[in-house]
Amino acid sequence: MALTGRDRIMRDIRNQKAFTVGNVRGEWINQPADIERGQLPRDVELPEWGPVFVVFSYRTPIAWWCGDTWTMPTVKYSATTTNHQRVTAQAVAASVTA
């Protein structure tokens, strides 16, 4: 049976594997200065060193893995991005407890 988009997102976040599913993508970035901010508020600090695995909703980073820690800013966005945040949170929780 083929994986749903949600299942693919969760699998690839857990495995920190680059992916694009609709308007959600995850990618490894070697130079954190190159991370596009999208709608991320300026007061939210991004990592200063890399590599970093970043999950984006559209062009906005909604979570990132740097070193051995996931960061998920508590920022409210549109209903669609909120859903992307929810799926990302579930994947992150599953990867931390696995």
DSSP 17: -
Q: Domain of 34?
A: 5-97
Q: Note the pLDDT of residue 1.
A: 67
The Cα 70–Cα 26 span in angstroms is 13
Give pTM, 2 decimals: 0.92
Backbone dihedral angles phi then psi of residue 73, each to the nearest 5 degrees: -60, 140
Q: How many domains does the chain have?
A: 1
Strand (E) or helix (H) holding 71? strand 69-71
Tell me what pLDDT residue 2 has: 80
pLDDT tens sequence for the chain (98 residues): 688 999 999 999 999 999 999 999 999 999 988 899 999 999 999 998 889 999 999 999 999 999 889 999 999 999 999 999 999 999 998 765 54
